Chains A and B, each alone.
Chain A
Amino acid sequence: MADFKGVMAYCEVSDGKLTSLSRQVLGCGKRLANELAREFSMVLLGTEAEDAVQEAGMFGVDKVYVVQDPLVQQYQTDTYAAVMVNIVSMAKPEILLFGQTAVGRDLAPVLAFRCDTIVVLDCVDLRIDSETGRLLCTKPIYGGNALANFVSSSYPQIATVRDKAFPVGEFSDAQQPEVITIDAAIDDKSIIKTKLLQKIKEEETGVRIEEASIIVSGGRGIGSAEGFQQLQELALLLNGAVGASRPACDYGWAPPHRQVGITGKIVSPELYIAVALSGSIQHLSGCAQSKRIVAINKDPEANIFNYADFGIVGDWKRVLPAFKNKLKELLASSS
Chain B
Amino acid sequence: MNIIVCIKQVPDLQSSASGIRVDQEALKVIMPQGTPPVMSPYDENALEAALKIKDTHGATITVLSAGRNLARPVLRKALATGADELILLEDGAFEKLDSFATAHLLAAAIRRIGVYDLILCGRQAADTDAGQVGAGIAHRLGIAYVSVASKIVLDKQKVRVERLAAEGIEIIEAPLPAVITASSELGELRYPKLKDLQAAQKKPITVWNMNDLGIEVSHLQRLSMVKLSPPPIRKTTCMMIQGETPEQAGAHLALHLREARLV
> Which A residues have a C-beta under 8 Å from some C-beta of B?
77, 101-103, 105-106, 108-110, 112-114, 117-122, 136, 139-154, 193-202, 204, 214, 238, 246, 249-250, 256-257, 262-263, 270-271, 280-281, 288, 292-296, 303, 305-315, 318-327, 329-331
Contacts and interface: CB of A to CB of B under 8 A. Distances in A.
B168 A122 contact: no
Contacts of A250: 184-185, 188
A257 B166 CA distance: 7
Nearest to B30: A146
B232 to A, nearest CB: 8
Nearest to A134: B226
B228 A148 contact: yes
Given A146-B29, A321-B247, A257 B167 contact: yes
A288 to B, nearest CB: 5
Contacts of A146: 20, 22, 29, 228-231
B136 A113 contact: yes
B254 A153 contact: no
B217 interface: no
Contacts of B145: 77, 110, 193-194
Given A271-B262, A326-B255, A194 B144 contact: yes
A150 B226 contact: yes
Contacts of B164: 102, 256-257
A119 B174 contact: no
Contacts of B139: 110, 113-114
B223 interface: yes
B154 interface: no
Nearest to B166: A102
A144 B233 CA distance: 11
A200 B168 contact: yes
A313 B250 CA distance: 10
B226 A311 contact: no
Given A145-B29, A151-B226, A311-B238, A110 B135 contact: yes
B55 interface: no
B192 interface: no
A293 B171 CA distance: 36
A298 B158 CA distance: 48
B52 to A, nearest CB: 15
Contacts of B260: 292
Q: Pick from B138, B160, B245, B251 the residue with the most CB of A within 10 Å.
A: B251
Interface in B204-231: 221-231
Given A113-B139, A195-B172, A326 B22 contact: no
Contact of A105 (B147, B171, B222, B232): B147
Interface of B: 13-14, 17-18, 20, 22, 27, 29, 98-100, 103, 123-124, 126-132, 134-136, 138-140, 143-148, 150, 160, 164-175, 178, 183-185, 188, 221-232, 234, 236-241, 243, 245-251, 253-258, 260, 262-263
B22 A154 contact: no
B234 A288 contact: yes
A150 B223 contact: yes
B171 A200 contact: yes
Chain A contact residues: over half helix, strand or loop, or mixed? Answer: mixed
B13 A306 contact: no
Q: Pick from A121, A122, A193 the residue with the most CB of B within 10 Å.
A: A193
Contact of B168 (A201, A319, A326): A201
Contacts of A280: 14, 17
B193 to A, nearest CB: 23
B185 A312 contact: no
Given A77-B145, A319-B250, A325-B251, 6 more contacts: A141-B29, A194-B172, A199-B165, A271-B263, A280-B17, A311-B240
User: 6 closest Cβ contacts across the A-B interface?
Assistant: A109-B132, A322-B250, A323-B250, A326-B254, A314-B246, A109-B135
Given A143-B126, A310-B238, A303 B17 contact: yes
A142 B262 CA distance: 33
A135 to B, nearest CB: 11
A305 B238 contact: yes
A318 to B, nearest CB: 4
B167 A309 contact: no
Given A102-B166, A256-B185, A262-B129, A118 B98 contact: yes
B241 A311 contact: yes
A329 B255 CA distance: 10
12 contacts: A108-B132, A109-B131, A113-B100, A141-B128, A149-B228, A200-B169, A204-B167, A294-B253, A314-B250, A319-B249, A322-B247, A330-B255
A294 B129 CA distance: 28
Contacts of B170: 196, 198-200
A141 B124 CA distance: 11
Nearest to B123: A263
Contacts of A121: 124, 129-132
Contact of A194 (B124, B146, B168): B146
A46 to B, nearest CB: 13
Contact of A326 (B128, B224, B227, B250): B250
A152 B100 CA distance: 11
B253 A312 contact: yes
A85 to B, nearest CB: 11
A153 B228 CA distance: 18
Contacts of B144: 193-194
A257 B130 CA distance: 21
Given A142-B29, A193-B175, A323-B254, A147 B167 contact: no
